[in-house]
Amino acid sequence: MRLVTWNINSLRLRLGLLRQVVETLRPDVLCLQEIKVDDPLFPLEECRALEFAHVLFRGMKSYNGVAILSKFPAERVETPDWCGKGDCRHLAARIQGTEVHCLYVPAGGDEPDPETNPKFAHKLAFLDELTAWLPTRYGPADRLVLTGDFNVAPLETDVWSHRQLLKVVSHTPVEVERLARLQASLGWVDAVRRFIPPSEHLYSWWSYRSPDWQKNDRGRRLDHVWVTPPLAAGLRSALVARECRQWTQPSDHVPVLIEGDF
């Protein structure tokens, strides 16, 4: 199975790029975040035309939203309403004996202080609730994939400057610690770092604000694919499709691909 996760940053705006991603990376399962479309307006037929016979989505107007496109039969798995906000950040499906969970973790705003910044408090609460819930439903022996835009760059090599970003939302110690707790909850394996070692700098997001993102290369690795231990042995390859950031009217995130025996 070839699984791709991508924060598309508006599905209807980037249907052409979605087609390019499918043609280039040939995913069997495609997890999308920030689709920004209410369910009645979801471009279902356009997605099916890309040979995804099974399409699940959970969207809202203008913000957030997640989708799972699959060439294999996909059965929706119910998940909680995190933080009671109904903001469409989690979608799960049972595919070929594996549960695939597509996440869009809150970005957290600009100020890394939960006392003064409600967006940052929401982000921490979201991660806390997810971390507490997972072990009540699953165990490390279950076949699970947790993927999406986690909005946290945990390693020093996941950001362009560890020292300069320690107080910048997405790489602060409190966020890194929360993500580490989530990873420990079921012994999740970072599938991408199985193939691209932690010693190498690796990014999946570059700000639109950069006048020359390639030259400055001030990126962060915010997009992740984790698997539970039973799936780790079947991992075959990983790719962060950096070239997609050069396409016309791109998302600020690039697709991440994992191939394995899922």
CATH code at position 117: 3.60.10.10
pLDDT digits (tens, 9 = 90+) for 210-252: 889 999 999 999 999 999 999 999 999 999 999 999 999 999 9
Nearest to 41 by CA among 65, 22, 17, 23: 65
Instruction: Say how far apart CA 9 and CA 32 lie, in whole Å.
Output: 9
Which residue range forms the structural domain that includes residue 138? 2-260
- Which residues have C-beta within 8 Å of that of residue 195, sequence separation ≥ 6? 235, 237, 238
Neighbour-count burial for 71-102, b at 16+ CB within 10 Å, e otherwise: bbebeeeebeebbeeebbbbbbbebeebbbbb
DSSP H/E element including 93: strand 90-95
Helix 118-137 / helix 173-185 crossing angle, nearest 10 deg:
10
Contact 261, 234 (CB under 8 A): yes
Read off the pLDDT of each residue in 30-56 and give the average, rounded to a whole number.
Answer: 98
pLDDT band at residue 4 under the 50/70/90 scheme: very high
User: Which pLDDT score, from 0 to 100, does residue 143 have?
Assistant: 98
Looking at the chain, the whole-number percentage of residues with pLDDT higher than 90 is 98
Instruction: Say how far apart CA 37 and CA 61 lie, in whole Å.
Output: 5
User: Which pLDDT score, from 0 to 100, does residue 234 have?
Assistant: 97
pLDDT digits (tens, 9 = 90+) for 57-71: 999 999 999 999 999
Read off the pLDDT of each residue in 129-155 and give the average, rounded to a whole number.
Answer: 98
Contact 102, 32 (CB under 8 A): yes
pTM of the model: 0.97
Contact 2, 257 (CB under 8 A): yes
pLDDT band at residue 84 under the 50/70/90 scheme: very high
DSSP H/E element including 98: strand 98-104
Tokens, residue 241:
């499709």
User: Which pLDDT score, from 0 to 100, does residue 193 have?
Assistant: 98
Read off the pLDDT of each residue in 146-150 and give the average, rounded to a whole number.
Answer: 98
Contact 79, 53 (CB under 8 A): no
Output the furthest CA–CA distance in the chain (Å, rounded): 47
Residue 28 pLDDT exceeds 90: yes
The mean of the pLDDT values for the chain is 97
What's the total number of domains in the chain? 1
pLDDT band at residue 24 under the 50/70/90 scheme: very high
Question: 């039969």: which residue's tokens?
Answer: 73
User: Which pLDDT score, from 0 to 100, does residue 262 have?
Assistant: 82
Amino acid at 84: G
DSSP, residue by residue, 26-75:
--SEEEEE-----GGG--HHHHHTTT--EEEEE--SSS--EEEEESS-EE
Residue 45 pLDDT exceeds 90: yes
